[in-house]
Chain A
Amino acid sequence: MSQQLAAIFAPGFFTSQIVQVAATVSAVAALVCGTVGVFTVIRGQSFAGEALGDISTTGGSGAFLVSAGPLWGFGVAAVAASAVMELIGIQRPRGRDLATGIVLGAGLGLAALFLYLDSVYDNTTGATVSIVFGSMFAITSSSIPAVGAFSALALCLVAALGRPLLLSSVSPELAAARGIPVRFVGAAFLLALAIAVALAAFTIGTILATALLVGPAATALRLTRSPARAIAAAAAIGIASCWLGIVLSYDSYDWYHQSGESWPVSFFVVTLIFFGYLLSGLPQRRRRRRPSVASDPASGPTLS
């Protein structure tokens, strides 16, 4: 038994502080992303999530310039970008992608500048790769308090918005009819989204952040029927993918003795999430297109 376990968990896995920090931070990030992600998918804001993730590159590279912690850079850039998106008009369904795209383009332009300056001042080119692709194993335990604070903020926001957020995500018209300030709720949610993305970017890299945000949530929404269960399932899937990714990446040290390098943990996490999504489509395909046809006159009263 212990031998089989040892085959899965390489020696030193559980005692390594690097692994412990990575597991903790990724679990917290997955929890936040699962919660925020479910609403993101319902609202059809995957692109906004992806854009905010990419734009955190700007923040990360900027933070690198001024020697600040990357998480703060991610957070500040994502929050600022979400504010601009809101101003340009992300609340209109058809203009949404455009508003996101314009902000994304400008943000990436800035990222290009910052990364260039990083390489000029620091004389290394490592900043690009480490910011863009990230590595959980590079996270230090000193960042855990900040991660905790950000997570608490995002979760509190979603919890406080609660039912109005759900209703206005499912049907903005219905929400508006009940007097919910749809635009304010949307803006507040965008803030939570920005924070969640910053956490995801910190965990698996800016360019892959969407995976943690959208993947588990989309999978969970396929498997469950109620929003609360979807959030729980999304968090569970996210945490499972991260931890499994950590194990595989840690093990991959031994796969190629000659290279002396492990495969990146972000790669494993993203791949696991993607195939999870594909698998979740199988049972759904069978029950798709249940008829929603009501031919009973009593079911559809129409006044004339």
Chain B
Amino acid sequence: MSERSSNGGASILAVDHLTVSLAGHEVLRDVSFSIEPGEFTGLIGSNGAGKTTLFRVILGLQAAHGTVLVGGAPRSRRNPLIGYVPQKFQLDPDVPLRTRDLVGLGLDAHRYGIAVPTRARRARVDEMLEAVDARGFADARVGTLSGGEQQRVLIAHALIAAPKLLLLDEPLANLDLRSGNEVVALLARIASEQQIAVLISAHEMNPLLPVIDRIVYLAGGRAASGTTEEVVRTSVLSALYGHHVDVLQVHGRVLVVAGEAGELADSGDHSHTQTQVEIIA
């Protein structure tokens, strides 16, 4: 398993020998990886692989064994270094809340009391709206926006607090291909321009492959991390899944294909028929 040992120091996020159990079941086992400032990282795994759990651990919302250092310091709740964009977001069009109001809440929502509307505050909100190309619907109700627009607004909401690490939970899951590509391009730009490390979870890696510097691949509760070339290989992923998988390149896209686990165990014969083959990532 080509794991990069976490070198601490300059890393914005260093996860070392992390093990997480939910109700007696090990969801993550001995996971180690690190992310440098400004790096764009894809957290890849199928549904239930533990992506959201890993996020909750990093955010300090989930107990775990092992060490997680954010900006060199132990993880904690209310960490101003981390911005978070959740997976689910549903807001009724009836709710009186404009795009700029939601972004403004990102600035200081953890403080008590009502925000004082200053010129500086407004300018900061405008700047963020500009950064995510949301000026056009700054005064529209958030509930009336499309999925891609809402995703951009949530990114602005997270960015306005000036985090050093941005966590996005499956931001592409509910977007069409074009909106998804727009969001990915936006994030890549933000990562390089503002030197913010981005950790983006997805169950499918192809939209991310052109832009990511590093991949963290979760399967079977364990993780492999490194560059795409280092991780997305037959040998590495087979070791991770605990049985043989094939990594195929088809029309410039990467497919991870598995046969029946039981059948693979008895021989090295890989001549599966179509029905036995399963594309898993």
Q: Do chains A and B touch in the complex (CB under 8 A)?
A: yes
The distance from the CB of A285 to the nearest CB of chain B, in whole angstroms, is 12
The distance from the CB of A121 to the nearest CB of chain B, in whole angstroms, is 42
Residues facing B in A94-117 (CB within 8 A) are: 94-95, 98
Residue in B50, B204, B206 whose CB lies within 8 Å of A295: B50
Residue in B22, B203, B206, B241 whose CB lies within 8 Å of A291: B22
Complex alpha-carbon distance, A294 and B280, angstroms:
13
The distance from the CB of A171 to the nearest CB of chain B, in whole angstroms, is 15
Which residue of chain A lies nearest to B91 when distances are taken between CB atoms in the complex? Answer: A94
Residue pair A297, B258 in contact (C-beta under 8 Å): yes
Which residue of chain B lies nearest to A94 when distances are taken between CB atoms in the complex? Answer: B92
The answer to whether the Cβ of A160 comes within 8 Å of any Cβ in the partner chain is no
Residue in B27, B92, B255 whose CB lies within 8 Å of A95: B92
List of A residues within 8 angstroms of B220 by Cβ? 295-297
The answer to whether the Cβ of A7 comes within 8 Å of any Cβ in the partner chain is no
The distance from the CB of B138 to the nearest CB of chain A, in whole angstroms, is 24
The answer to whether the Cβ of A302 comes within 8 Å of any Cβ in the partner chain is yes
The answer to whether the Cβ of A304 comes within 8 Å of any Cβ in the partner chain is yes
Residue pair A300, B204 in contact (C-beta under 8 Å): no
Complex alpha-carbon distance, A295 and B49, angstroms:
5
Complex alpha-carbon distance, A295 and B25, angstroms:
11
Q: Which of B203, B205, B206, B260 has the most CB of A within 10 A?
A: B203
The answer to whether the Cβ of B261 comes within 8 Å of any Cβ in the partner chain is yes
The distance from the CB of B32 to the nearest CB of chain A, in whole angstroms, is 17
The distance from the CB of B263 to the nearest CB of chain A, in whole angstroms, is 11
List of A residues within 8 angstroms of B254 by Cβ? 304
The distance from the CB of B14 to the nearest CB of chain A, in whole angstroms, is 24
Residues facing A in B225-281 (CB within 8 A) are: 241, 245, 253-256, 258, 260-261, 278-281
Residue pair A298, B261 in contact (C-beta under 8 Å): yes
Residue pair A304, B261 in contact (C-beta under 8 Å): no
The answer to whether the Cβ of B94 comes within 8 Å of any Cβ in the partner chain is yes
The answer to whether the Cβ of B83 comes within 8 Å of any Cβ in the partner chain is no
Complex alpha-carbon distance, A302 and B258, angstroms:
12
List of A residues within 8 angstroms of B256 by Cβ? 304
Residue in B48, B245, B279 whose CB lies within 8 Å of A304: B279
**B interface, by DSSP: helix, strand, loop or mixed?**
loop
Complex alpha-carbon distance, A292 and B52, angstroms:
13
List of B residues within 8 angstroms of A95 by Cβ? 92, 94
List of B residues within 8 angstroms of A302 by Cβ? 46-47, 203-204, 279-281
The distance from the CB of B72 to the nearest CB of chain A, in whole angstroms, is 31
List of B residues within 8 angstroms of A294 by Cβ? 47-48
List of A residues within 8 angstroms of B219 by Cβ? 295, 297
The distance from the CB of B208 to the nearest CB of chain A, in whole angstroms, is 11
How many A residues are at the interface, by size bracket? 20 to 34
CB-CB under 8 A for A289 and B278, given A94-B90, A297-B245, A300-B48: no
Residue pair B23, A290 in contact (C-beta under 8 Å): yes
Complex alpha-carbon distance, A298 and B243, angstroms:
11
Which residue of chain A lies nearest to B23 when distances are taken between CB atoms in the complex? Answer: A289
Residue pair A289, B22 in contact (C-beta under 8 Å): yes
The distance from the CB of A303 to the nearest CB of chain B, in whole angstroms, is 6
Residue in A293, A297, A298 whose CB lies within 8 Å of B25: A293
The answer to whether the Cβ of A301 comes within 8 Å of any Cβ in the partner chain is yes
Residue pair B92, A297 in contact (C-beta under 8 Å): no
List of A residues within 8 angstroms of B90 by Cβ? 94
Complex alpha-carbon distance, A203 and B48, angstroms:
48
Complex alpha-carbon distance, A94 and B258, angstroms:
41
Which residue of chain B lies nearest to A304 when distances are taken between CB atoms in the complex? Answer: B204
Residue pair B23, A297 in contact (C-beta under 8 Å): no
List of B residues within 8 angstroms of A293 by Cβ? 22, 25, 27, 48, 50
Complex alpha-carbon distance, A304 and B27, angstroms:
24
Mark each residue of chain B from 81 to 105: 1 if its CB lies under 8 Å from any CB of chain A, else 0: 0000000001010100000000000
Q: Which of A292, A297, A301 has the most CB of B within 10 A?
A: A297
Which residue of chain A lies nearest to B206 when distances are taken between CB atoms in the complex? Answer: A304
The distance from the CB of A217 to the nearest CB of chain B, in whole angstroms, is 27
Residues facing B in A257-304 (CB within 8 A) are: 289-304
Residue pair A297, B241 in contact (C-beta under 8 Å): yes
CB-CB under 8 A for A298 and B258, given A95-B94, A304-B279: yes
CB-CB under 8 A for A295 and B22, given A300-B47, A302-B204, A304-B204: no
20 residue pairs of the A-B complex, CB under 8 angstroms, read A92-B92, A94-B90, A94-B94, A289-B22, A291-B24, A291-B27, A293-B27, A294-B47, A294-B48, A295-B48, A297-B219, A297-B241, A297-B245, A297-B280, A298-B258, A300-B280, A301-B278, A302-B203, A304-B206, A304-B279
Beyond A291-B27, A302-B279, list 6 extra A-B contacts (CB 8 Å): A94-B94, A295-B49, A295-B221, A297-B258, A297-B278, A302-B281
A-contacting residues of B (Cβ < 8 Å)? 22-25, 27, 46-50, 90, 92, 94, 203-206, 219-221, 241, 245, 253-256, 258, 260-261, 278-281
- Kindly list the 6 A-B residue pairs having the minimum CB-CB distance in the complex, ordered from nearest: A291-B25, A300-B46, A94-B92, A294-B48, A304-B204, A297-B280
